[in-house]
Amino acid sequence: MAADMGSGEPGGRRRHLAAVVLARGGSKGIPLKNIKRLAGKPLIAWVLRAALDSQGFDSVWVSTDNDEIEKVAKDFGAQVHRRSAEVSRDTSSSLETIQEFLQHHPEVDIVGNIQATSPCLHPSDLTKVVDMIRTHRYDSVFSVVRHHLFRWREVKAPGEATVPENLNPSRRPRRQDWRGELYENGSFYFATRELIVRGLLQGGKTAYYEMKPEHSIDIDIDLDWPIAEQRVKRFGYFGKSAPTVVKLLVCNIDGCLTDGRVYVNQEHEFISYSLRDLDGIRKLLERGVTVLLISERTISPSLISTLRLPCEVEANVANKREVLQKRMSEMGVSWNQAAYMGCSDSDVECLKLAATCGVPADASTSAKMTDSFACSQRGGFGAIQEFAEHIITLMETGR
């Protein structure tokens, strides 16, 4: 698994470096937080992908006490260590859990403890830390982020005055003139077996690794989830595949462009959509992506004309896969170049086939269970715009 980076070891023996992700099933803040979906993937999948793609580890492990977490870990390429009940309590520390892991794995010389709650971690960060460990012989390396925050002494008694702890108020520096301070961000802690056995995650020859602020995020409570989701969509690591090429987007009208409701009277039916979604469609069209909107319902040509959509619309579609296959054949496009957005059970087949797929926040359970980009917006309220921006990001960055 690990790339040959030179042993850098006395006598030439390469020390076994294991990535270990601790994922207990009994999180009180967010139940089964470690496998809750974040931007379309289980939370733990983001750090597992970064660890595996870094190719710097001799093994990648998830330490868990939960069957569901074990399955997800294996699905995403990790080995699983079933921790004991003694280190699965609310009061169990990370250090105790890692010490138990080492008792069962005597081949491991160095542990890279990677936090499952740091979804913006990139392989390049881990590769550099592995080099610090192997080449520069550090005993421990931990992640930090730089903050430009002024600290003041806490006041505990009424009438007590506070004083500054890291600034002179009479010479208050501008942000650009102050380097700030380094704070642990909890993303990872690397340490040798010797240190961990002694009860330390930091010690010996110690170094920090400074992560970019945009990659430094930790999820502890539900309130963090929407922030983390937006951060991952913009700054997360989406894999080492070649740049994404999308030539065709097919999108279900009912429940994606609209909120799924139809308003009717004796003579007409009405639907509504968000102008934000039209902006998203236009952005894709400007980049040469063909957009096709489809519906299982029979929609009158007059209503389609009234909608004034900037792309082609096909209604009364009984077999969505057949329509998509026909359009791809006409365009000379493969499934790997197609994107699909759906929200219902009838969309599941196409969501699984298309290389790039997305669902609105209020999609059916079966649609959400596909390996799709999960929008934070509901159908009819900007979900297509959100998915379009995700597609554009994939195309421009190759993530």
Tokens 């002494």 found at: 153
40: DSSP letter: T
Supply 228's token pair: 């983390």
**How many residues make up the chain in this entry?**
399
**Residue 264: enclosing H or E segment and its boundaries?**
strand 263-264
**Residue 393: enclosing H or E segment and its boundaries?**
helix 383-397
Q: What is the C-alpha separation between 83 and 364, in angstroms, rounded?
A: 35
Supply 255's token pair: 């429940």
User: What's the gap between Cα 392 and its chain centre?
Assistant: 17
Residue type, 168: N
Q: What is the C-alpha separation between 34 and 26, in angstroms, rounded?
A: 10
Number of other CB atoms surrounding residue 74 within 10 Å: 12
Supply 47's token pair: 């750090």
**Does residue 172 have an active-site annotation?**
yes
3-state DSSP of 319-383: CHHHHHHHHHHHHCCCHHHEEEECCCHHHHHHHHHCCEEEECCCCCHHHHCCCCEECCCCCCCCH
Catalytic residue among 82, 137, 151, 172: 172
Q: Which residue, 322, 370, 382, 314, is CA-closest to 342? A: 370
Q: What is the C-alpha separation between 200 and 23, in angstroms, rounded?
A: 20
Number of other CB atoms surrounding residue 361 within 10 Å: 16
User: What's the gap between Cα 284 and its chain centre?
Assistant: 23
Residue type, 283: K
Number of other CB atoms surrounding residue 287 within 10 Å: 13
Backbone dihedral angles phi then psi of residue 122, each to the nearest 5 degrees: -115, 150
Q: Which residue, 313, 279, 282, is CA-closest to 296? A: 313
Supply 6's token pair: 């030179």
**Residues marked as catalytic:** 172
